[in-house]
Amino acid sequence: MKPYYRNLSSVMLLTLCIIITGKINAQDYKNQFGIYTTGIFSSLTYDMNFKGKHEAETGFGVGINYTYFFTKNFGLSLGGELQTYKSQAYYDKLIDQYAATDLDNHNFIFNYQTTGYKEKQHASFLYIPLNFIYETPGITGFYMAAGAKIGFPIKSTAQTSIQNLQTYGYYPQWDATLYDPAFMGYKTEKNIELPKQDITFKTDIAFNLEAGVKQQLNAKNSIYIGLFIAMGITNLEEAPSEKLITYHTDTPALFTYNTLVNSKLQKEDKAFISNIKTFSSGVKLAYKFNW
């Protein structure tokens, strides 16, 4: 029996040494390089004027970061991150009017009315995040991160569809309303699908908070999984000034369509969309290299 106990004691001692060594290794690094992805909720938030409806859609994020640990618990992280946002704006009905001049050089009031106006927005930002890190030492532990990030717009677009559009002209000098001819720009169109248009956004600043668990795979590799939330504090919109649907005197049958983000309701001199900000939350998964 004694050899058995001696072997068992040796195995237990070896296991204890491995555990202790593992814990030491788990705490014995000051540098980390990580790659990560985020997902589930990522959208542009904004206020819809004139009884519009807003719907958030899903985006995603990917990034890299470097972390330096001042102590076994606290560190500072700097990185780069690509984040996308998607949202949708909808109006059951839109009515607007403004002064214009027709082909015969007569002044009139151009009117348009839409039903089923839908605009999908897609925005991509490149962020530089700076975070303070706290994590518990050990093979398995808890971590938290808090900080801010500055984001530079890369590409932002909007795509519009309109179920029905009716345009007509009112001539106050004759108290007359014309619903045709079409070549004068007075017509009805259905199921309009417009090509993508570019949107201009400002630089974004956002605060973020993250918490989760870490698992060290070995002395040089770890995985992190947690929940995060990031909220933009910058109003991204440039001052909207365009007409949503623009009438042209020289080509009255060909309108210029602008985005809701860049346009305002002319008869009230007020933006369709205001207070545009970024918002994302969900799950973050990271793989990190320790040294």
Reduced to 3 states, what is the DSSP secondary structure of residue 32?
strand
> What integer best gives the mean pLDDT of the chain?
91
**Quick check: 9 pLDDT over 90?**
no
pLDDT confidence band for 27 (50 / 70 / 90)? low
**Quick check: 199 pLDDT over 60?**
yes
User: Are residues 196 and 238 in contact, defined by beta-carbon separation less than 8 angstroms?
Assistant: no
Quote the DSSP letter at residue 25. H
pLDDT tens across 104-148, in order? 999 999 999 999 999 999 999 999 999 999 999 889 999 999 999
Cα separation values, 203 from 156, 206, 232, 234, 247, Å: 12, 10, 10, 8, 32
Range with the lowest mean pLDDT among 25-34, 63-72, 121-130, 207-216?
25-34
Give me the mean pLDDT over the 154-183 stretch.
97
**Quick check: 8 pLDDT over 80?**
no
> What is the Cα–Cα distance from 54 to 42, expressed in whole angstroms?
14
- With a CB cutoff of 8 Å and minimum separation 6, the contacts of 90 are 52, 53, 54, 55, 117, 118, 119
What domains, with CATH codes, occur in the chain?
30-290 (2.40.160.20)
